[in-house]
Structure 1
């Protein structure tokens, strides 16, 4: 079984939290530092995961203010 990269694992965890409603529409995500500590990784995989989610339209970043969940929710399987 192939190993899932940290950025993919983090992106999927955040997707799951958005889908479950833990991170609702308009919710501010934890800071980069907090997520790095939570996932036990450096800031780079967290940044990469957030870029993936931003490209999917699930989150949007606001310079100096943080990253927020958009109104879009991922499809649940």
Structure 2
């Protein structure tokens, strides 16, 4: 049985865990996309896909010119 996960899924899972366990709190700014590429050792595409997934789940929001932030949880 393989435990392979695509890079975007691995990144999204890690950030989601940090949000749900409180290491990243509502209002916290995520690292920049460049920093996330360096942290996870990937290209831009998996980082973009991970952020897209977390936005779709309502966990984060992008603010033009400011960055990406953790949203309040209901």
Does residue 1:11 correspond to 2:18, yes or no?
Answer: no
Q: Give, in whole Å, the separation in 1 of the partners of 2:53 and 2:24.
A: 17
Q: Deviations over 1:35-65 (max 9, x none)?
A: 1000000111001100000000000001111
Structure 1 stretches lacking a partner, 5+ long: none
User: Runs of at least 4 residues of structure 1 off by over 6 A?
Assistant: none
Structure 2 stretches lacking a partner, 5+ long: none
Q: Give, in whole Å, the separation in 2 of the partners of 1:36 and 1:61.
A: 17
Q: Give, in whole Å, the separation in 2 of the partners of 1:14 and 1:26.
A: 14
Q: How high is the TM-score relative to the length of structure 2?
A: 0.93
How far 1:2 sits from its partner (Å)?
A: 4.8
SS at match of 2:28: coil
RMSD: 1.1
Q: How high is the TM-score relative to the length of structure 1?
A: 0.90
Give the structure 1 partner of residue 44 of structure 2. 43
Total equivalences in the alignment: 73
Give the structure 1 partner of residue 58 of structure 2. 57
Give the structure 2 partner of residue 72 of structure 1. 73
